[in-house]
Amino acid sequence: MEIEFNNIELADLYQGKQIKNKTFKSNPSLVKQFVKTIKLLMQAKKIEELLQFKSLHYEKLIHDRVGQSSVYINKQFRLVFIEKYDDRDPPKVVLLLIEEIVDYH
C-alpha cells in the first residue's frame, strides 16, 4: 500500500531527520519500532493483510475517531491513520494517510 504523511514531523522521523519532539528524542526504540511499523504497512497489498500481523492489533477506531484506524507500534503507542479507497466495486484501500502517534497509557 502507498503511504503518505499528513504529519510533517512523522515524515521527518521516518526519513531519519532530527526532530524537536522530546518523546522521540528520548526514545530511540520507539523511533525504530515506528519505522518498522511503517515498512510493514507498505508491504501489505491490501488492508486485510494487516490482520495477519497479530502484533499490530489493527483496528478501525470509533467514537471521536470514526474514519480513522490504528495499529500498535509497541505496547504504549499506536499509529493512527486514515484509509483512502479507490473507485472500484468493491472499494479497495490504496493509500494510508499517517496522522499521529498516540500514547494509550
Task: Show the domains of the chain with their CATH numbers.
Answer: 2-103 (3.30.2310.20)
Query: Percentage of the chain with pLDDT > 70?
Result: 100
> Mean pLDDT, to the nearest integer, of 33-54?
94
pTM (two decimals): 0.91
| Phi, psi values for residue 62, rounded to 5° | -130, -175
> Mean pLDDT, to the nearest integer, of 85-100?
90
Query: With 80 as the cut, is the pLDDT of residue 105 above it?
Result: no
Radius of gyration over every alpha carbon of the chain, rounded to an integer in angstroms? 14
CA 9 to chain centre: 13
> Mean pLDDT, to the nearest integer, of 78-102?
92
Distances (CA, A) of 6 to 43, 75, 90, 97: 20, 23, 26, 6
C-alpha grid cell for residue 63? 467514537
